[in-house]
Structure 1
Amino acid sequence: MKGLGRVLLLVLVALAGCATRVEPVSGAAAPAPVRVAFQQPGLSPKDGGALVDAAALLPGDILLSASNGFTSAGIRMFTLAPVSHAALYLGDGEVAEAVGEGVRLRRLDRLVQEEAVVVAFRREGLDAAQIGALRDFAHAQLGQRYDYVGVLLQAPFSVQRRLCELPLVSATLREACLRGVAAIQLGTVDNERFFCSQFVLAAYHAAGAPLTNAHPRWISPADILHMRKDDVPSVRINQALAYIGHLKFLETIELPDARVAVR
């Protein structure tokens, strides 16, 4: 029984894993004290955010969202994040995304109407050529099939990776561990199938502005969320994402038999 208790404790600790970073206290005099920064799970406008409309968006912005239903709830449960979907804003009210039916375009107003939470982030400094490349990549992939295998493999990977993200594990060790687990669990096969966040990462890579050097198949919507400024990313990133605002926010996401708070 004691052995079983230790195993259960290890599982609980792994599930609660949260990437951390040791950093100096801002504004402190030398020698500056340090603090441990934790990944931020919050996604509420009440936490210093703002509600915005479509006019605040630029081509290339990344839209993270959560919807009503058990699929979204399951993704959020496994990734311990308040988002379950990622899409790419192309401008002129047009959004590109990878869903079950494949890569498609959706009008921004439809996305906001159909999702329960929609929040925008920006990779700043994109030039006209990179924005054009993002659009070209998105349109070239229209109709490409969904990566169901990659999504199915994300569930066990999301659990096992918690061991890599235990508090006080260094960024170097965490990334090496994540890469090792991902290589075993997910593989690095390149094909023409995408799930949502994989599509967004692949688009930025094709545009010559990769968000991270990690393989797109390893990245979930939760990983993109933690690439924002003042958060702790799980993988090494090339540039932190700027928070633009919420296009939609509901205090709770309604499910058939439950109400899941988004915080």
Structure 2
Amino acid sequence: MGAVQREVRMANLTDRIGRRLAQFLQTESSGYEPYTPSDPETLKAVLQPGDILLVEGNQRVSAVIKYLTQSTWSHAAVYVGDALDPPGDGSERHRLVEVVLGEGCISVPLSKYRTYNTRICRAHALSQADRNRVVAFMVDSLGLQYDMRHILDMLRYFFPFPPVPVRWRRRMIAFGSGDPTRAICSSLIAQAFQSVPYPILPEVTRAPGRAAAASTYSRSEILHIRNHTLFTPRDFDLSPYFAVVKPTLESDFDYRKIVWGSGADANSAASG
């Protein structure tokens, strides 16, 4: 048997194992409580094509990603507006494109995340033409397979090994096949914005005449971040080039119109 055939057989075996493990990783965790449920109509009124919707997931795989990234956000999707045709059966239109564990790159309706904590991240001053390019990139990626080797990498964190050192966590979630026909959620979105190109967490270099950074490790780690496989959902939240959009504040929020409960009124009166 040639090397190519062995590689194909190994890839097929990995896919079969990965699909079974995906079912385990997608099991929902108990105790999840959304503090700010996402009303689909409210999101639709605020979202613009090319916006990123970060999601706090409630699955086992979500717990792994949160641990490795030390972040609230475990998933990311891109809002594509009306770029996709409406379903023929009259059901809700799909306006999000995402990469899902075990399924690959798919489109879903906004109502999928009705009961989840979410955050909108918007690329600042991104031109309409470049927004369209980001949307087109995501739409053209529909059908890509999920990187099953990524599942095998994440599964290790369900075993009682010592905690993963902070400096290794980002590299741990970058493991995988590296196959361009396969993807994970944040890496595909990073590719979409890099194709414009638009910065997320770009490489930082020392300016002439300035003192060197105290840590050599810090400099080398930042250099690695440019690789799209090293991006995580939280990077869009941390990026200085993406604005956080709050739907409530976008809809003429006025704190003076809030109707407080009797307990709050009593406390307010006491403090006054």
TM-score bucket of the superposed structures, by smaller chain: 0.5 to 0.7
Q: How does 1:173-192 map to 2 (within 5 A)?
A: 186=175, 189=178, 191-192=180-181
Give the superposition deviation at 1:56.
1.3
Match of 2:140 in 1: 140
Match of 1:62 among 49, 52, 68: 52
Aligned length: 171
Q: How does 1:23-172 map to 2 (within 5 A)?
A: 53-92=43-82, 94-99=95-100, 100-108=102-110, 110-113=111-114, 115-150=115-150, 152-153=152-153, 162-163=166-167
Gaps of 5+ in 2: 1-33, 37-41, 83-93, 158-162, 203-225, 249-272
State the distance in 1 between where 2:124 and 2:155 align: 31
Equivalent residues of 1:148, 1:195 under 8 A apart: no
Match of 1:17 in 2: none
Equivalent residues of 1:121, 1:245 under 8 A apart: no
Q: How does 1:8-19 map to 2 (within 5 A)?
A: none
Say if 1:226 and 1:148 are closer, same or farther in 2 by CA, change over 3 A: farther
Give the superposition deviation at 1:59.
0.9
Q: Structure 1 counterpart of 2:143, which letter?
A: G
1:217 aligns with 2:229: yes
Match of 1:242 in 2: 243
Gaps of 5+ in 1: 1-42, 46-51, 166-177, 228-238, 248-263
Say if 1:101 and 1:240 are closer, same or farther in 2 by CA, change over 3 A: same
Equivalent residues of 2:61, 2:154 under 8 A apart: no
TM-score between both structures, scaled by the size of structure 1 = 0.55
State the distance in 1 between where 2:155 and 2:200 align: 23
State the distance in 2 between where 1:124 and 1:134 align: 14
Give the superposition deviation at 1:122.
0.6
Match of 1:200 in 2: 189
Equivalent residues of 1:188, 1:215 under 8 A apart: no
Q: Which has the larger radius of gyration?
A: 2
The runs of 4+ residues in structure 1 deviating greater than 3 Å are 150-157, 185-190
Give the superposition deviation at 1:94.
0.7
Say if 1:128 and 1:205 are closer, same or farther in 2 by CA, change over 3 A: same
DSSP-derived class of the 1:120 partner = strand
Q: Structure 2 counterpart of 1:63, which letter?
A: L
Give the superposition deviation at 1:120.
0.5
Give the superposition deviation at 1:125.
1.1
Equivalent residues of 2:237, 2:244 under 8 A apart: no
Query: What's the C-alpha RMSD, in Å, of the aligned pairs?
Result: 3.3
**Deviation readout 1:111-166 (Å, 9 max, x if unpaired):** 322x5211101111111221111121112111110123235446889x6561379x
**Deviation readout 1:88-122 (Å, 9 max, x if unpaired):** 111236111001211011111x2322x52111011
Comparing both structures, which one devotes a greater share of its residues to helix?
2
**Higher RCO structure, 1 or 2 (CA under 8 Å, sep 6+):** 1
TM-score between both structures, scaled by the size of structure 2 = 0.53
Comparing both structures, which one devotes a greater share of its residues to strand?
1
Question: Once the two structures are aligned, what percentage of the paired residues are identical?
Answer: 26
Q: Structure 1 counterpart of 2:119, which letter?
A: V
Give the superposition deviation at 1:77.
2.6
